[in-house]
Chains A and B, each alone.
Chain A
């Protein structure tokens, strides 16, 4: 007897402050306003507003985010971002990323093919042979 296959469709969980679960803003979601939370956040749609999460932030391929500040632990960007990133963890731009803004994080990597314009501010010293860095 063939087993009937049941497709269960869940609405993407709302962005809840205090939730440790990963929140996903689906591709058709458009938000204008500030987003904050404790857990991870994955943006697949469009967001216009500041984002501040304690967990990891992912901006998916096809997503579009415009903000003044983006705060998170680890940040992975495969979509479009117009805004500065302030991460306590690593910041990674995938090859499909299109980012305009300054990036700050424990480590910043940019895959070849990514479009980027902005400042990178890593904390390090140049060897003594190069004198004081500007």
Chain B
């Protein structure tokens, strides 16, 4: 691979950065960063951009979404406001995130119904792009199963104040455990 790209500490870039290379950001980047290599966002970096790479390591500040083919790692000192998606995600103690985090390759079958429900709930929080990606392809196959769950989730504020008896005071038993088993274990066992 060609020599690595380093955006120095005293450099500000307001641009779309693309390429087949590793990139290390130590300075300020505003715009878009999409490479096929590894992206390292150093402790001194401030990035206001969506970042895509094979692997992403964050030690600095990012306002934007992170998407990786392999893994994303946030180290102590990382501050991220945005969504994080990769097959493997690690967040060290001290890595701070405000956003939606998902350990799945984008477009893959969701592990459980909850993710569709979460995505629907998150429509109010996240950007339309996320809702479009997550809700549309993922919610569709699970639509029948997720409907009762969505209704349940929608009334969450009220439900949490209900005193639940040991006899099971909930209106209808949530098919959560069986679905979890069917979805999560099966999908994950297959992946393993």
Contacts and interface: CB of A to CB of B under 8 A. Distances in A.
Complex contact flag A–B (Cβ < 8 Å): yes
Interface of A: 32-34, 46, 48-50, 64, 66, 68-69, 80, 82, 90, 92, 98, 100-102, 107-122, 124, 126-127, 129-131, 133-134
A107 to B, nearest CB: 5
Nearest to B85: A117
Given A66-B180, A111-B90, A100 B160 contact: no
A98 B111 CA distance: 9
A49 B177 CA distance: 11
Nearest to A128: B46
Q: Provide the main secondary structure of the chain A interface.
A: strand
Nearest to A95: B90
Q: Provide the main secondary structure of the chain B interface.
A: mixed
Contacts of A117: 101-104, 110-112, 114-115, 118
B184 A80 contact: yes
Contacts, number: 138
Contacts of B94: 107
Contact of A68 (B101, B156, B163): B156
A33 B89 contact: no
10 closest A-B pairs (Cβ-Cβ)?
A100-B114, A112-B90, A66-B176, A33-B166, A122-B96, A129-B46, A120-B97, A34-B164, A133-B81, A110-B91
